[in-house]
A and B are shown apart, each in its own frame.
Chain A
């Protein structure tokens, strides 16, 4: 075995130029593939985080049908079981209640369609990043039942400034219109059009009083410790909560676009992976066949000396494995270094901010290396080595020693 490894290494140095060229192709292919995967992982991760943490949360619990009709009549009079189930789940980092209702905001000179969201100001901070999006003024204080934080586009439409009064009108349960006056405490800019164009955030208490909901709310929002546990928490909630009273949905059940985008990205990664494997495979098979033809006499000699088919096969396979492993390791290593550098520094795509923000993507992408990528690359290297090695190795075992030694 040691001799085959030694032979593999030395045979690779026989034609250094060819080996180096093949290695360069391998390093570039595996390196760019790895870096592309870390980049994709980085932006897909940030998309999911941004979507979930901008305002949605990982899981929302509503009264059945509320997600579809959005009617305030469809509120949960008693959110206690949902809140208790969420707080008892070890994978739920935080939870909060909200009231959602559509309405209209007016000032003396303008009006704007809004979505009023009643939030628990302190708990909301633990669930989403909404408080971080305030660009002027401040986030709501607990008990500030006369204040409102407006999305930046809403504020601009109304030409409302901090401290200005805004009259907000909505339909309370039962269909009666009800208006309340709020003072602008802050303006938020999330970069996400749906948020910036519609949101008017008041305290939960203010919304409950205004809509006469008592202790009720339309929604309980859960933040899960990581995306991978979303399904497990969801299943647990389904088990624990009465389906007649509560409808539990994951973020991608409500808005499947991001999830579909992630899945289509995964599919394109597999496609690109396949292309890279085929190209690299062609390159290596070509190299190995060239090497095989150049050494046909030597293989004939080895067979004549008593080298068995399995041993010849193993020798060629070792050679391919060594070549692919060196190229793969260098490519992976290079990409890992780049990921390390740009993971901290980020790749600045602010020139595309407008289009990126609608996809919940950060303008600065931080590539992320994770176990999945490492497994992808290792599998690619292993499959490539195996596929590229098998054919030339098999051909070597089919050589007739007498004919092989006659070759010049």
Chain B
């Protein structure tokens, strides 16, 4: 069984009298451990697809199964729990809760999972160490650089031991050196922890690291290639 099975996903956004097909019959299978990039121009549907795979948005029709479990029938609350159990997120910006320290941000999802305080703080410290931010745990987001904030977001996503990490334009707000360092880290984590990463990005740096590249156009998959 594939980790993710998306079948015939449709999503139409109404913009006044005009409607826009964001997804037009997308089907997709993702296996565990993949490092997959959804690429395409703005408006091609890659972020919409990512949101569907992450149970953040609902398709108008079609199904998404993660570990064989469909989330479309779940209530809003249960979908939140579903995300908590299966999915980690790294967004483009504003990734962290501003009033919490780096350590508390990482520990936040662990608390949602019901982990005891001592254990979650220990795990948060371990993951901050892993992403190269040992010693930065007590800093608040505004005391960290953009790259460091993204690393904290990566630590938070992975600390919860999700099946999949979804990253939407994770390098868009970073300078090229910081972006390269972050991507190196993500590739390494993919290899060492066998975590599945799915990116939505049009950054050539991200695309070049992809093991599998899916090009999106007008809400459809135009190409799907394994790069090895």
A residues near B, CB below 8 A?
2-3, 6-7, 10-11, 13-14, 297-298, 301-311, 401-402, 405
Q: Is the CB of A14 within 8 A of B91?
A: no
A306 B81 Cβ-Cβ under 8 A = yes
Q: Are B84 and A305 in contact (CB under 8 A)?
A: yes
**Interchain CB contact (< 8 A) of A306 among B57, B91, B100, B109:** B109
**CB <8 Å contact, B83 and A10:** no
In the complex where A3-B111, A311-B112, A401-B56 touch, is A301 in contact with B97 (Cβ < 8 A)?
A: yes
Additional A-B contacts beyond A303-B80, A305-B84 (19; CB < 8 A): A3-B108, A3-B111, A6-B100, A7-B100, A10-B99, A11-B99, A298-B97, A298-B98, A304-B54, A304-B91, A305-B89, A306-B80, A306-B112, A307-B80, A307-B112, A308-B80, A308-B112, A309-B80, A402-B57
- In this assembly, does B73 line the interface, its C-beta being within 8 Å of a C-beta of chain A? no
Mark each residue of chain B from 82 to 123: 1 if its CB lies under 8 Å from any CB of chain A, else 0.
011100010100110111100010001101110001000000
A7 cross-chain contacts in B, Cβ below 8 A: 97, 99-100
Does residue B77 face the partner (Cβ distance < 8 Å to A)? Answer: yes
Closest to B88 in A: A305
Cβ of B77 and Cβ of A310 under 8 Å apart?
Answer: yes
User: Which residues from A are CB-within-8-Å of B138?
Assistant: none
CB–CB B112/A301 < 8 A: no
Q: Which residues of B contact A402 (CB under 8 A)?
A: 51, 56-57
Interface of A is mostly: helix
- List residues of chain B with CB within 8 A of the CB of A304: 54, 56, 83, 89, 91
B residues in contact with A298, CB < 8 Å: 94, 97-98
The residues of A that contact B54 with a CB separation of less than 8 Å are 304
* Cβ contact within 8 Å between A305 and B91: no
**What's the least CB distance linking A393 to chain B, in Å?**
15
User: For residue B56, which residues in chain A have a CB less than 8 angstroms away from its CB?
Assistant: 304, 401-402
Which residues on B sit within 8 Å (CB–CB) of A309? 76-77, 80
Minimum CB–CB distance for A4 against chain B, Å: 10
Out of B100, B113, B156, which one reaches A10, CB within 8 Å?
B100
Contacts of B51 in A (CB 8 A): 402
B203 to chain A: closest CB distance in Å?
A: 19
Known interface pairs A3-B108, A401-B56, A405-B91. Does A302 touch B77 (Cβ–Cβ under 8 Å)? no
Query: In whole angstroms, how far apart are the Cα atoms of A308 and B109 in the complex?
Result: 11
A301 in contact with B95 (CB, 8 Å): yes
- Known A401-B56, A402-B56, A405-B91; judge A305-B100 contact (CB<8 A): no
Residues of chain A with a CB closer than 8 A to B94's CB: 297-298, 301, 405
Q: Which residue of B lies closest to A312 (CB)?
A: B80
A7 to B98, CA, bound (A): 10
23 A-B pairs whose Cβ atoms sit less than 8 Å apart in the complex? A3-B108, A6-B100, A11-B99, A13-B99, A298-B94, A298-B97, A301-B91, A302-B97, A304-B54, A304-B91, A305-B84, A305-B89, A305-B112, A305-B156, A306-B80, A306-B81, A306-B109, A306-B113, A307-B112, A308-B112, A309-B76, A309-B77, A402-B57
